[in-house]
Amino acid sequence: MSTFPGLNEDCAALILDCLDTPSLLSISATSRAALLPARVRLVRDVRLLSDERALSFLHFVLAHALEPAVRSLYFSIWAFDMAAWAPLLAHVLPRADTLRRLEVVLGVREPRFFALLRGLSPALTHLHIYDLTARSSEALRGIRGLRLLSLSVEHESHEAMQTTMGVIKAVIADNADTLEDVAVAGPYMRGTAPLEVRFVPAERKCPRVTRLAIQRLGFDLAAVAHTFPNVERLERDCEAALPDDAESGTVWPKLGTLVAPARVVLPMVAQGNYKMLRCLVIPPSSSAPLRVEDTLNAIRNLRIEELSLSIPSVNLGDPSPDSDGSVLFLAQILGSAPHLRKLDLNIHDNSRETRKVDLATLIPNPHRLTKAHTRVLSQLTYVSLAWPSINTTLTDKSLQSFARPWFTLCPRLAGMHLYPSMLEFRWTRRWLYVADCSDSDSDSGVDLGDGDSYPRPRSIVTAHYRCNPKSKQASFDNERTAFAPNDHERGSTAWSAAVCKSYSSPGVELREGVKLTEFPI
């Protein structure tokens, strides 16, 4: 029986591959011919967010013998009640011979689970395990063929954690010829002094690894660079101690993306020659706040195209209307990063005192910018500004008055975000075809100095807002979240152009009934 009358199975498969989960559920309930192929696609790549969903999914897979169809399992469940569904997972894994990606948080230990992991090789190429213990980690020995490995260590005794780190070292060595992405994290101990747990990499080189993340662990920079000589992306957390040899001049010649606190970035950049570095993300750090002037001086000799900075508001001076409407430090940033394409500024408070600014002070003033600054603005494609408190009643008019100058001065600007407190505003630009513009709509362009100008095509800018309980100021950004915010952030409201409920916090007010309208540029 054909899945879709009149279509061959190849065409039917292409159609089914394009359907979302509700559509697959609907077609499996209405078409006997499509029942099996729809079920197969329902279990291929699954993200489970609760114990109830995990139970339901695993029962479904076992009841219909769908284990061979499972390709990716992501258990995003930070809970302590795995006891109900972990045994079911242990029954599914032996027959999941095409499983390529597994991500799981281990709150309760299921002994069979670890013993089964070795049997998933060589199909399993992506393995994420959180809260790994010394006892459970031993079962990872012997796994081969991994391309991505992400492991975090549970808080145990110092001796037990060092044992776990030894197993991680062995697993990396066993997969040295295939690994491309490695992430290792120490125990997370909020509010307590971290134990000195060290990451000692294997002596065997991992030539394919281009992405490396080391969190909450001490390490020797030279040893890590020896094991992973071709790293192109390095991520380092904020609160861990500096590498023992941070100022040794050790470099990764191919490093293009660096996500790390300023106290790691500054000595690395000062001593190393990072000609390929294009993306720099410096997240907030409570123990070592960013030193703006030192940071900008450090990046002056780099060709940074994407820059994300988290700046304590105490370092910004006293913003006022006398600042000629210029964005604070904008001129310094543009002068230090003349090749900039994407900019993310996250202003945060380290004290109980909330610093308020007028929205107008966050607008670039073309009369105060040099030709060199204007040229950099003409290259920007994305801008994000986060401020804990804006001393302005947010209306459609005030928000347009803020966004319009940015899109006017930045002819390539495609997207912009503004984060006042727990509100989030998004502007996206849509360029119009030439046929959509009349002669009267033409524009002479943006003056770039030296007689040059960038012809500005006509465009429409659309605005939306949402409430997001995960405030930008409290987040740890990497290059993905800094320059491409998650449109489906858990707990946030849906994007909307109409404000259906008033929002008020110290210094920020958005009233019900405001409708954000699009505007031409």
> How confident is the model at residue 475, as a pLDDT?
59
**Backbone phi, then psi, for 78, in 5-degree steps?**
-95, 75
> How confident is the model at residue 441, as a pLDDT?
46
Q: What is the dihedral of CA 323, 328, 333, 334, to 10 degrees?
A: -50
Tokens of 157: 């005794």
Work out whether strand 508-510 and strand 392-394 pair parallel, antiparallel, or are unpaired: parallel
Helix (H, G, I), strand (E, B) or coil at 494: coil
Per-domain boundaries in the chain: 1-42, 278-521
- Name residues of the chain where pLDDT drops below 50: 108, 191-193, 319-326, 435, 438-444, 448
* Cis amide bond preceding 122, omega within 30: yes
> How confident is the model at residue 440, as a pLDDT?
47
Q: Which residues pair with 520 in a beta bridge?
A: 460
Q: For residues 329 and 453, what is the distance between their CA atoms, to the nearest angstrom? A: 25
> How confident is the model at residue 147, as a pLDDT?
96
Residue with tokens 């991994």: 146
Q: Quick one: CA dihedral 116, 122, 123, 124, positive or negative?
A: positive
> How confident is the model at residue 325, as a pLDDT?
38
Question: Are residues 238 and 213 in contact, defined by beta-carbon separation less than 8 angstroms?
Answer: no
pLDDT tens figures, 415-471: 999 988 778 899 999 998 654 554 444 444 555 455 555 555 589 999 998 887 665
pTM: 0.82
> How confident is the model at residue 89, as a pLDDT?
83
Helix (H, G, I), strand (E, B) or coil at 344: strand
User: Rg (Cα) of the chain, in Å, rounded?
Assistant: 26
Tokens of 73: 């399992």
Question: Are residues 168 and 184 in contact, defined by beta-carbon separation less than 8 angstroms?
Answer: yes
